[in-house]
Structures are given as structure tokens and as C-alpha cells.
Amino acid sequence: MAKPLIQLALDSLDFDQTIGLATQAAPYVDIFEVGTPCVKHNGVNIVKELKARFPDKLVLVDLKTMDAGEYEATPFYAAGADICTVLGVSGLATIAGVVKAANAHGAEAQVDLINVPDKVECARESARAGAHIIGVHTGLDAQAAGHTPFSDLNDIARLGLNLRISVAGGIKQATVQDVVHAGANIVVCGAAIYGAPSPAEAAREIRELVEAA
Ligand SMILES: O=C([C@H](O)CO)[C@H](O)[C@H](O)COP(=O)(O)O
């Protein structure tokens, strides 16, 4: 299996700080995630700026769309997004709308399983709806309550669905290799990189661990 891609979650609200962090970590990551707080604050302009500065990187926009999937996602794909996220709890019509917008731009749609009660069924339905990536995700609030994405990852990986698996939720140096071994195709790291004394050094460590897994 190909080595998983490493995705850096850019969760700052500040435009320049976001670009600065991306610049530091760029040599070690494959995907820049414009995090939900960041995209709500900065809109399509931050997507355009990242694509202009880093044309060889993929850009995921973490829209977490809940309704009006095609309408909401289309301007972000038009701005250069390679992947947009849609919530699994939104329902199949909204997921199908984001998939349609993605396909119209030669891009991808990722369904986020955050707070989905039946994650296995949602993953199956998302695959049938043509989603490209399923996101196993323990959000920041759930992490604060002690939750992790690891058991959900095992449940989704064993389904063998025809979509790639992205995993997010407090992944750090100590856990990244377990996530790789469990079958993740995309490993998302936010705080482990942006919260480190040296984000570049933290990103480099994570790259080395993923390569060695
Ligand atoms: O998606 C995220 C969260 O819901 C805030 O928007 C984070 O970017 C994601 O959880 C990755 O960050 P870490 O959990 O800090 O690795």
C-alpha cells in the first residue's frame, strides 16, 4: 500500500499566521487543510492564496457542510480546493451535492463522520453516493472530553470500502504509526504541529514516522 498522505490542519483564524505555518511545514506535508474556523474567518481568499503559493500541495477546505451542498462547495472548488468536506449527519442529498460539485471540478468530496451515530452505515452510504474520502474524526470538543478516533478507524477500515480513509483527532508522534498500521490513507495533524515549539521540526518527525511505519 502507498504511504499515507500527511495533512496539516491549519486552525488559526489569522490569515498571515496561517500562511506562515504552512510555509514552515511545507517540506514535510502533502495536504494543507484550511480548518473550519479558518475558512469561516477568511473565506475563499485563503484557499486562493495557498494554491498560489504552494501549487504542488493539495488543499482541503474543511467546510463541514450541513446543507446546500453543491451551492456551498462550488465556489471553494472553483477557488482551487482539491477536497471539500461535508458532514455525514447532513444526509445523502447534501453529500450528493458536494460530490456533484467535486466531480464537476475534477476534485474530491470527503464525508466527515464527526458525531454520526452509525458511522459504519454512513460510510457505506457515502461510498454508494460516490464520495471519494471518508473522514474518521474526533473533533476538538470530543477530544477535550477524552475521546479518540482509533476504535472508529478500525471499524471503518475493516469494511474494505472503495474510498480512501482520512483520520483526524489529536494524532501526534506517539500515535501516528498506529493510525498508519490501522489502514489510514490520510493522516491529519493539527495541534501536534501548530502547537509544537518548532512546527517544522514536529512536521519533520511526523513525516519520518509515517515513512518508517
Ligand atoms: O477538524 C478539526 C476540528 O474539527 C476543528 O475544526 C481539526 O482540524 C482536526 O481535529 C485536526 O486537528 P487536531 O485534532 O488538533 O490534530
Confirm whether pTM is higher than 0.95. Answer: yes
Give me the tens of pLDDT residue by residue for the chain, a chain 213 residues long.
Answer: 789 999 999 999 999 999 999 999 999 999 999 999 999 999 999 999 999 999 999 999 999 999 999 999 999 999 999 999 999 999 999 999 999 999 999 999 999 999 999 999 999 999 999 999 999 999 999 999 999 999 999 999 999 999 999 999 999 999 999 999 999 999 999 999 999 999 999 999 999 999 999
Q: Please report the DSSP string for 19-42 in residue order.
A: HHHHHHHGGG-SEEEE-HHHHHHH
Atom of ligand 1 nearest to the CA of 62: 1
Please state, in angstroms and as integers, the Cα–Cα distance from residue 100 to each residue in 4, 6, 25, 39, 66, following that order.
26, 26, 32, 21, 15
Which pLDDT belongs to residue 61?
98
Question: Can you read off the three cell numbers belonging to residue 17?
Answer: 499566521
Q: Is the CB of 97 under 6 A from ligand 1?
A: no
Alpha carbon distance 131, 163 (integer Å): 7
Which pLDDT belongs to residue 40?
98
Which pLDDT belongs to residue 2?
83
Q: Is the CB of 9 under 6 A from ligand 1?
A: yes
Q: Is the CB of 135 under 6 A from ligand 1?
A: no
Q: Is the CB of 206 under 6 A from ligand 1?
A: no
Q: Is the CB of 139 under 6 A from ligand 1?
A: yes
Which of 13, 148, 167, 188 is the best mutation target for the ligand 1 pocket, counting ligand atoms within 8 Å of the beta carbon and taking the most? 188
Helices (H), the chain: 15-25, 36-42, 44-53, 69-78, 92-104, 119-128, 140-144, 150-157, 176-181, 191-194, 199-212
> Which domain, by its residues, includes 158?
5-212
Counted domains in the chain = 1
User: Distance, CA 68 to ligand 1 centroid (Å)?
Assistant: 23
ipTM score: 0.95
CA-based R_g, the chain, Å: 16
Nearest CA to ligand 1 atom 16: 190
- For 187, the 3-state DSSP assignment is strand
User: Distance, CA 9 to ligand 1 centroid (Å)?
Assistant: 6
Q: Is the CB of 169 under 6 A from ligand 1?
A: yes
Which pLDDT belongs to residue 186?
98
CATH number for the domain spanning 37: value is: 3.20.20.70
The most distant pair of C-alpha atoms in the chain lies apart, rounded to whole Å, by 43
Q: Is the CB of 140 under 6 A from ligand 1?
A: yes
Question: Can you read off the three cell numbers belonging to residue 9?
Answer: 490542519
